[in-house]
Structure 1
Amino acid sequence: MSSLTFKSNPLSITSGSPKVVHTLALGYLASALKANKATQNEEVIILEREAVMHTLKTVKKEILREQPDVLGISVYLWNYQRAMSLCEMIKQDNPHITIVLGGPQVTYTAQEVLKENPSIDIIVRGEGEITFCELIEALKRRTPLHSVQGITFRHDNSIVQTPDRPPNCNLDAIPSPYLTGILDLSISEKLDLETSRGCCNRCAYCVWHRAYKKINYHSMERVFEELKFAHDTGVKEISFFDSVFDSPERGKALCTFIQTEGMDLRINIFLNVWSVKPEYLHMLKRSGTFSLDVGVQSMNPETLMLINRPSNVEVTKKALAHLEAGGVETICDIIFGLPRDTLQTVKAEIDSISSHRLTLQTNFLQLLPGSQLYETARHHGLVYTEEPPHMVYQTPTMTKEELIEVFQYGHFVRHRENMRRAIESGKVDRGVRLQWRFDSLFGG
């Protein structure tokens, strides 16, 4: 076996020059392969490209130029259709390439994906580092794949699904793709970090908790080492992929480290609405430039109960007030199309967030395969697109027209708040101010 090629999405353009936003998942896979004795000599190539900016023909040409033996593609809701088309194009040009898929979109529908897409050879389910190393070793030695846990594959005109692989409890055993140089930080101003896997919540629209009975953590020493390395390399912005700051002890340790080291960084974090506390916000503000992404999702009590959100309306209202008073840049997420939500309840949620001068971010409900809502969508009367991203466009309590209306309303409110901030900062001229005031008064 000569080489493996991983395909992913991100490439961002900043100031006219390309700046790579590395794909952490593929970096972990490559690091694991290089640390494994049986696969450490394999040539691993990561192709990071923004699907919107490159045609499939261009991506296919780039992959085939590398002449890989194995092509691995990380698949999500938003790139599923393009990934399937790309695999078909690759197989047509070179049927000898073994195509392996992984990621949340295919983990819980592996057999269906293989049945519907003959160009796919193997699917890695769940965590991929150990599984992928064993898979590559088996392919290299041409031994049967039946002993590799956590895969679904074709064999003698049938589809075989091996037992699930237990979660990896020792995350530090996976070498850091940053510290090992697999992902080159010298060409990136942004960094994505993962400090844990799993979730203690059981939200019905999510699958992150499904494979984990408990949360598995990287040691804080590992996280500190990656942070310091990134800062010393010139990284300006770090995004934490997990809810590390939902753990007060670990969140406080991170803030203390950042403050002690004098790191000048912009840090983006996720925070559950029930974790918002005044003392926590003060700590974040003292430690540097933080941007919070707070999951509100809904403020309808019936909806919160149905989607298993461990929150209530009073907790959310207090959190919004704390966020406004705390002075930390905040985005509040709400989801359109959840069960029992109505036009009136969602508009009230938008107004509540706006009244606290917080940035609104809205998303239509997308049904993740393997999630509780995906499996019970028909029971709840959710109408959604059959093809990924399985977007909900009608519910028993909201018509298609009402969902469009609330989307437009959310867009208007977000635009109004952006203009207000620009006016208050003096970044717009008087003519724009007058237009904004007219729009605010008359809903233009």
Structure 2
Amino acid sequence: MKILLAACNAKYIHSNLAVYDLKAYSSDYDEHVILREYTINQPKDEILKDIYSSGADVVCFSCYIWNISFVRELIRDLVKILPKTAFWAGGPEVSYDAEKFLTEMPEMTGVMVGEGEKTFHDLLEFYIDGKDSLEEISGIAYRTGDKIIHNGWRELMDLSAIPFVYEHLEKFENRIIYYESSRGCPFSCSYCLSSIDKKLRFRDLELVKKELQFFLDHRVPQVKFVDRTFNCKHEHAMTIWKYILEHDNGVTNFHFEISADLLREEEMELMSQMRPGLIQLEIGVQSTNPETIRAIHRHMDLKKLEHCVNRVHSFRNIHQHLDLIAGLPYEDYDTFHQSFNDVYRMKPDQLQLGFLKVLKGSLMQKEAEVYGIVYKEKEPYEVLSTNWLTYGEVLKLKMVESMVEVYYNSGQFWHTLEYLVPFEKDAFTFYEKLGSFYEKKGYSEISHSRMRRYEILLEYLQEETDVPTEVAAQKMLYDLYLREKLKKRPVFAPDQKQYETAVWNYRKNNQVSKTAHIEVFENGTVILFDYEKRDPLSNNAYTEVVQL
């Protein structure tokens, strides 16, 4: 008897922690369980062939908003070539409407609802050992004849009972490592599924230390904690942050999703001592509109959040990623404009402008009609309009998002933006106007090279603003060379021929590396760009003002 656990990830670099957890928890059936990871970008025929060739008697798919349509299509074809195979699904995209999913998918045998480790083990006992019957297994919904039976959700389990899944790291080469030290969330944000699980559980800290040491010993590039609010328990967070500080291997980066307004002085003091790049923080702000914050049942001290973000920013050693969500209740175009400016003012390393996704099982799904939230029929169930935001305004925000991604989040225009944004009324207006220019020129639907993005920005400044373009061009040149030694100079760069001899002599006398670049700027400043020394956070070249 063979049981296949199948994950269809969004990208190759991703891994699916859930299916590895299920397999690890059922290690006593290891010889019967096969695990396969695919991507939604793979040809379906390739996946069909692999699953068919596996000889699996039972196939279990892990279902999320990024793969559910793909999985549905796969199953409808798989059942044609594997008519005797039992098909099961699990994950958030099927747990909250299991009966509906089974009604729409007659090909399916059943659904594992909620946490799957113990449920999967019970299914193995049923299929392999013939133990019990489906009606005795909690945490499933299944089909029997023309009926669909739901056995109810299973009791939540002890997180420390799940074995460590990364003993064979070679399987995860060049892929993101996801790690879980807690489950559940103390907050009740209406747009989030994590708020449904109110029972916070933490993995035993001695286990966590041992497992973190394994990552450190193997010099894993990055470990992403999937804990929903990592710092909700001070002692837990401090113990882990202390451990990775004291055992830092100089390579591994740890990613945490936190609530910045919960940070204590002791935690920030510890962070100030960390190697640049040891940790990075993802902070969900979502909105700064008080009415919106109340409506989504979020508890946030905005002043404290801003203080903590600024404090961490002052250390210059931690990448901070701040999130906003457009389409929330009581957030119209103007209040979102303000929310954006409030967060932009905090100078995050990345500012993610996301759009509300009305997730199955979330409180927001139940309240959508009350708030006039209209969203896409298919996953990812993204907002189209609300009582406060028209679809036309959503489209405008999409353009702002695109400009923020290209010009701000890329980190390739840092000094250019620092110079340009103050010429506008505010940051949001800058990106809004730049986006409108892209639309007007027909640039928004075209893929552009990095150099072309600079040229378009210069074109915008020349045609739509009174900004001194000579200074702006010099800022752009500086940003360009910060990233790489250009093979071809941009069209807006001044000629350097008159400095060639002086630069050559300086290189010779100071034994400057061939990979470095020396640029003489319009104001006479000479800057050496050393690409063999880079900033661990921005990856920009080390720079030094020199005299020729």
Given the two structures, how large is their TM-score scaled by the length of structure 2? Answer: 0.72
SS in 1 for 2:397: helix
User: Does the C-alpha gap of structure 1 residues 389 and 415 become closer, same or farther in structure 2, counting only changes over 3 Å?
Assistant: closer
Asked whether 1:219 is paired with 2:204, we answer yes
Secondary structure of 1:208's counterpart equals helix
Task: Provide the residue aligned with 2:247 in structure 1.
Answer: 261
Amino acid at match of 1:249: E
Following the alignment from structure 1 to structure 2, what is the Cα–Cα distance between the partners of residues 430 and 66? Answer: 47
Q: Is the 8 A contact 1:186 1:234 kept in 2?
A: no
| Map of 1:144 onto structure 2 | 133
Residue in structure 2 matching 1:61, options 49, 54, 57: 49
CA contact (8 A) 2:231 2:263 kept: no
How far, CA to CA, are the matches of 2:71 and 2:298 in structure 1?
32
Higher mean displacement: 103-112 or 138-147: 138-147
Distance 2:174 2:412 in 1: 31
Quick one: distance in 2 between partners of 1:238 and 1:173? 21
Residue correspondence of structure 1 range 84-233 to structure 2 within 5 A: 84-142=72-130, 143-168=132-157, 170-179=158-167, 181=168, 184=170, 187-188=173-174, 190-212=176-198, 214-233=199-218
Deviations 1:124-145 (A, max 9, x none): 0010000110012112244420
C-alpha separation in 2, matches of 1:21 and 1:287 = 27
The match for 2:414 is 421
Q: 1:372 maps to which residue?
A: 363
Structure 1 residues 359-368 or 257-266, which shifts more?
A: 257-266
Shift of 1:228: 1.2
Q: Distance in 2 between matches of 1:238 and 1:351?
A: 31
Deviation at 1:299, TM superposition (A): 0.8
Query: Offset of 1:285 from its aligned partner?
Result: 4.3
| Alpha-carbon RMSD | 2.7
Shift of residue 395, structure 1, vs aligned partner: 0.3
| Structure 2 gap ranges (5+) | 419-448, 468-548
Cα deviations by residue, 1:104-143 (Å, 9 ceiling, x for unpaired)? 1111100000001111111000100001100121122444
Letter in 1 for 2:255: N
Percent identity between the two aligned chains:
24
In the alignment of these two chains, the number of paired residues is 426
The 1:330–1:128 alpha-carbon spacing in structure 2 relative to 1, beyond 3 Å, is same
Report the CA distance shift for 1:98/1:347 in structure 2 as closer, same or farther (over 3 A). same
Equivalent residue for 1:304?
293
Q: Which residue in 1 is equivalent to 2:2?
A: 2
Per-residue CA deviations over 1:82-107 (Å, capped at 9, x if unaligned) read 11111111111111111111101111
- Pairwise CA distance, 1:313: 3.8
The 5-angstrom pairing of residues 280-429 of structure 1 reads: 280-288=267-275, 289=277, 290-327=279-316, 328-358=318-348, 359-417=350-408, 418-421=411-414
C-alpha deviations, 1:327-352, integer Å up to 9, x for none? Answer: 32111111111111011111222222
- Distance (whole Å) between structure 2 residues aligned to residue 272 and residue 323 of structure 1: 13
2:66 aligned counterpart, secondary structure = helix
- The answer to whether residue 241 in structure 2 is matched with residue 251 in structure 1 is no
TM-fit CA distance, 1:248:
2.4
Q: Which residue of 1 aligns with 2:485?
A: none
Deviations 1:402-436 (A, max 9, x none): 011122123323433334337699xx999987865
1:63 is matched by which residue type in structure 2? Answer: I
Structure-1 residue corresponding to 2:65: 77
Assess if the C-alpha contact under 8 Å between 1:299 and 1:316 holds in 2: no
1:272-287 map, 5 Å: 272-277=259-264, 279-287=266-274
In 2, Cα distance between equivalents of 1:424 and 1:364: 24
The one-character-per-residue Cα deviations of 1:276-318 (angstroms, maximum 9, x if unpaired) are 4565344234233221110001111111001011014434443
Query: CA contact under 8 A between 2:15 and 2:175: conserved in structure 1?
Result: no
Question: Is 1:28 paired with 2:14?
Answer: no
- Pairwise CA distance, 1:231: 2.1
State the alpha-carbon separation in 2 of the partners of residues 232 and 320 from structure 1. 31
Give the AA of the match of 1:26.
V
Over 3 Å counting, the alpha-carbon distance change for 1:433 and 1:55 in structure 2 is closer
Counterpart-to-counterpart distance in 2, 1:141 and 1:185: 30
Give the distance between the partners of 1:431 and 1:201, measured in 2 at CA: 44
SS at match of 1:250: helix
Answer whether contact 2:137 2:151 (CA < 8 A) is retained. Answer: yes
Larger mean CA deviation between 403-412 and 276-285 belongs to: 276-285
- Aligned to 1:49, the other structure's residue is in SS state strand
Distance across 1 between alignment mates of 2:456 and 2:8: 43
TM-score, structure 1 as length reference: 0.88
* CA–CA separation in structure 2 for the residues paired with 1:211 and 1:432: 44
Higher RCO (C-alpha 8 Å, min separation 6)? 1
Deviations 1:147-181 (CA, angstroms, capped at 9, x unpaired): 0001000012100000221100x2111111113x4
Distance 2:160 2:244 in 1: 21
In structure 2, the partner of 1:17 is: none
Q: Is the 8 A contact 1:190 1:237 kept in 2?
A: yes
Contact 1:185 1:233 in 2 (8 A): no
Residues 432 and 189 (structure 1 numbering): CA distance in 2 closer, same or farther, change over 3 Å?
closer
Structure 2 counterpart of 1:50, one-letter code: T
Specify whether residues 98 and 422 from structure 1 end up closer, same or farther in structure 2 by C-alpha distance, changes over 3 A only.
Answer: farther
Cα distance between partner residues in 1 of 2:174 and 2:405: 30
Given candidates 35, 39, 61, the residue that maps to 1:46 is 35
1:237 aligns with 2:222: yes
Specify the SS of the correspondent of 1:287: coil
CA distance in 2, matches of 1:120, 1:61: 19
Question: Separation in 2 of the partners of 1:99 and 1:230?
Answer: 35
Q: Using the alignment, how far apart are the partners of 1:245 and 1:232 within structure 2?
A: 25
